[in-house]
Structure 1
Amino acid sequence: MKRSPLLNGRRLETHVTLKPAASNSWQDGHPHAVEPESRRESEGAEVTTKSYYTRFWILFIFSFLAWFEGAQWNTWGPISESVSVAFPGWGAETVAMMGNWGSIMFVVGIVPMCWFMEAKGVRAGLLACAGLIAAGTVMRIIPFATSSDVFFTVMSHLCAICVGLAATMAIAPTIAAVWFPPEERTTATAVSQVLNQLGNVGSYLEPLLVRSPRNGTTTEEIRSDIKRLLYIDAAIAVALLVAILVYFPKKPPLPPSVTSSVERYDFLTSIKKVFRNRDPLLVTISYGITVGIPLTWFSVLNFSLLELGIHQDDAMWVGLLAVVASGASGLLAGRATDLVYGHVKATLLALTEATLACFFWFFLLAWGAVAASRWQVYVSVVGGLALNFATAPLFMELAVEVSYPCPEVVVGGMLTGADNFVGLLFLLLFFIPNIGYEWVTYSLLATGALAIVPLLLVRENYARSSIDRADIHEASTTLT
């Protein structure tokens, strides 16, 4: 059944009244308001909007879960040497498969998870994500009571599957739409995406807890370190689940914007609408190509850098700088979009072209056309990845706008599913015998070049924001 668009498309008049917010308690799910109520009337239909302090708590818990999920996707890579010694049955293939489960299960489970989130709401959806992650990390420590390496390996695979099924980032634009006013939505989406990316940094801190098999460290000592790490992971996952159970409302008492109060299409109708509309499809294709390959390349960056004489120790710093720079660029891009709205497509084209320039520079270094030096490798790789990641929140915002009034979770799931699918195909190419690594630089160039074409064909349309920001341009505002 189709749900009617906002107020039958009639013009809104805005009247803002400053008055104290009602005193509400955390227990009853009615947090304190921090901004004035805004009433918008249209021929008898009235929408009252309000923002709440607790939107920052909601964003904090969600972003922390996104960060933790990102760290769990990359649990074993940073301590692969230690794991191979502690559990002799493990090898490079096992460690790689643990990471691959994330992309595989995300692609497999994204449709049912998006349906569940759309049908049951933000709270139920996030509880499902946190529950899967908590269940997986707890299952992973159960074998420690039996001392069975085979049991531990099986449970570790199941944990990776559960973490992959928890499609947490698909709900990011929904959190922003349900809890944040129009001038903060892109920033809120960027914060959670950045924290998810910074989860990789968290995983690279694991060697602080797990000793490497050097300097006389025994196998039992390494196994003990790994157990301690996994116990900590399980404790964090359970604590996050409890925090969401204690306080994470489905939605605020009053919506932060007019469009937040509008019923969206149901799940099946949304799928049909999206696949019949060329603009969301073009944005999805461009996003999948633009973001999917570079973010996946980051997990195997060492192999490309080794070809240029950059070994593991230096490659670690390239990776860390790239993640930090990506986080900063994502936040800046999101905030700038909120402050200066209406230029998302132009900004995306500029960032994509700048990314392509950096990756072309790296291509010249890899092929010897330009004499490679350490600073050039750092700048081309870190700059390319940072500029590339800055496009992520903007793509998400543009996709939601051109798909409105389809639910944000459907759009977010479609985009994150696309980039995980492309990333999975990229990783599968490494299993081709004797393929080498030269093809990777071609893939990076294709990332920028092929993504620009569908993006140019997108018809820019700010259907949602034109309603929410109408009072800035055309409605009368009265303060009393």
Structure 2
Amino acid sequence: MTLKEHLTNGLSNPSEPHSKLFLMNDSSRRESISGSVMDGLTIESSKATYTVYKIRWLILTLFVLYSASNSFQWTQYAIIEDTVLSYYGVSSAVVSWTSMVYMITYVPLIFPGSWLLDKTGLRVTTILGAFGTCAGAWLKVFSVPQDMFWLGFVGQTVVAISQVFILNVPPRLAAVWFGADQVSSACSIGVFGNQLGVALGFLLPPMLVKSTGTMEEIGHDFQLMFYLVAGFTSVLFVFILLFFKAAPPTPPSAAADLGSTIDSNFLQSIKTLLMNRNYVLLLISYGLNVGTFYAISTLLNRVILTYYPGASEDAGRIGLVIVVAGMAGSVVCGLILDKTHRFKETTLAVYTSSVIGMIIFTFTLDCGLIGVVYLSSIILGFFMTGYLPVGFEFASEVTYPEPEGTTSGILNAVVQVFGILTTLLYGWMLDEVGDRWANLTLCALLALGAAVTAAIRSDLRRQAAQNKA
């Protein structure tokens, strides 16, 4: 039901539960909360009634697990690069491409992916993405023989293509299912799913696939890892088919209600977004930050083993620390945004802290004490990966009422380009000039991103629409 219909029906039929009006003057406006286990929570404002449904938490949980099952496979090969090299006999560059294929495939496919999300809704695209993630995982099961790495790469590519139905979803899912006072937190939890998968992708492969042992033992380790992932994605695909829904029966907020009444034109939306000065600046700053994170994540094994030979499991755990700290940062930032709605200030503070964290990481890497590297990784991860949902939500604010799927889709497409370029630059510098200058270059890129963030104006359009409604 649209906002206009809420108003019309509220006057003609005051007893209708989702259209009740409170005719009060400005001094006596209030909110009341009621609801039931079946119907959810009803928020009644001075103009219209909006209901949030308890099933939204199941929808969000399924998305988190689905996103994690995909992002887990991003660094599945790269974090155990030394083992992959010895078992399959491929080059370091090929292993790096198992990570970068996620970035390469996303760029051309995000536009049809965003169009499909805009036209068909969350359920169709989620089913497609879950099926692709599951199919790619099963292809890897058959890539265990030492001469079958090419099949594993094909499976990795299928999973990477499926990512196009994941990265741009959190702000859309939050806006469609959650009320105005929970939308930033819900977006943060949605992004948390991607981070959870990356964290497990750093932690589990080095534990499951040991770098020591015979080729036969390593082969068994690979087979166990691939079977576990394929089994989990299969069960999750069935649950998504059974329980994942496109949208609630009624909009959860005034902003969602108004947005649902707007007929979006995909090409016109892209044109409008690219003409939005604040959004273009955010594309650059977000790309620099996340591109830096991609570069570090892809080449972390090589960087850590430079100073701590044989520390493959430590490399995985340091990656885990970076991402888990980022999860905490994401949740904290989401709560801050929901409480304060200070998007520009929060974004700039988190970004500046990312620069400081990267500088600390750079100058503690060669200290000889790997425990110190763990500590510096916590600081780096809390702010660098904690920035991810903040950037998503800020983009939704400055571009409202353009579709969140299109907004975040373009944002992520630009991120992949930055990720590819930054990873290639970082890898080249590690080989040619060493990690110190390579990391200082990343510090400079983050400092540039902070300066660009400072130039973004705080034009909170979604908040304005919510307040006016």
Per the alignment, do residues 93 and 19 of structure 1 end up closer, same or farther by CA in structure 2, a change over 3 Å counting? Answer: closer
Q: Shift in Å at residue 287 of structure 1?
A: 0.7
Aligned to 1:280: 279
SS in 2 for 1:49: strand
The residue type paired with residue 41 of structure 2 is: E
For 2:216 and 2:412, how far apart are their aligned partners in 1? Answer: 40
Deviation string, structure 1 residues 308-339 (Cα, Å, up to 9, x no partner): 55862544443332222111111111112112
Match of 1:237 among 233, 246, 261: 233
Indicate yes or no: 2:54 matched with 1:53. Answer: yes
Indicate yes or no: 2:404 matched with 1:403. Answer: no
8 A Cα contact 2:96 2:298, kept in partner: no
Aligned to 1:62: 63
For 1:449 and 1:201, how far apart are their aligned partners in 2? Answer: 26
The residue type paired with residue 284 of structure 1 is: L
For 2:51 and 2:322, how far apart are their aligned partners in 1? Answer: 38
For 1:82 and 1:417, how far apart are their aligned partners in 2? Answer: 31
Deviation string, structure 1 residues 112-153 (Cα, Å, up to 9, x no partner): 111111111111111121121122122333467xx6x54x32
Normalising by structure 1, what TM-score?
A: 0.83
For 1:91 and 1:303, how far apart are their aligned partners in 2? Answer: 13
Per the alignment, do residues 64 and 280 of structure 1 end up closer, same or farther by CA in structure 2, a change over 3 Å counting? Answer: same
1:52-451 paired onto structure 2 within 5 Å: 52-87=53-88, 89-142=89-142, 149-150=146-147, 152-166=148-162, 167=164, 168-203=166-201, 204-214=203-213, 218-261=214-257, 262-263=259-260, 264=262, 265-306=264-305, 312=311, 313-341=313-341, 343-365=342-364, 376-429=372-425, 430-431=427-428, 434-451=432-449
Q: Shift in Å at residue 470 of structure 1?
A: 5.2
8 A Cα contact 2:41 2:52, kept in partner: yes
Deviation string, structure 1 residues 145-182 (Cα, Å, up to 9, x no partner): xx6x54x3232122111222122111111010001111
User: More helix by proportion, 1 or 2?
Assistant: 2
Moved >4 Å (runs of 4+): 16-21, 305-311, 363-366, 371-376
Per the alignment, do residues 437 and 163 of structure 1 end up closer, same or farther by CA in structure 2, a change over 3 Å counting? Answer: same
For 1:421 and 1:48, how far apart are their aligned partners in 2? Answer: 43
Q: Which runs of 5+ in 2 are unaligned?
A: 11-19, 23-30
Per the alignment, do residues 213 and 461 of structure 1 end up closer, same or farther by CA in structure 2, a change over 3 Å counting? Answer: same
Deviates more, 1:198-207 or 1:286-295: 198-207
SS in 2 for 1:183: coil
Per the alignment, do residues 386 and 164 of structure 1 end up closer, same or farther by CA in structure 2, a change over 3 Å counting? Answer: same
For 1:37 and 1:347, how far apart are their aligned partners in 2? Answer: 28
SS in 1 for 2:44: strand
Aligned residues: 439
8 A Cα contact 1:290 1:451, kept in partner: yes
Aligned to 2:13: none
Aligned to 1:38: 44
SS in 1 for 2:229: helix
Deviation string, structure 1 residues 281-315 (Cα, Å, up to 9, x no partner): 11111111122213431332344445555862544
8 A Cα contact 1:136 1:158, kept in partner: yes
8 A Cα contact 2:298 2:423, kept in partner: no
Normalising by structure 2, what TM-score?
A: 0.85
Q: Which runs of 5+ in 1 are unaligned?
A: 24-31, 42-46, 472-480
For 2:79 and 2:310, how far apart are their aligned partners in 1? Answer: 14
Aligned to 2:25: none
**RMSD (Å) for aligned C-alpha atoms:** 2.9
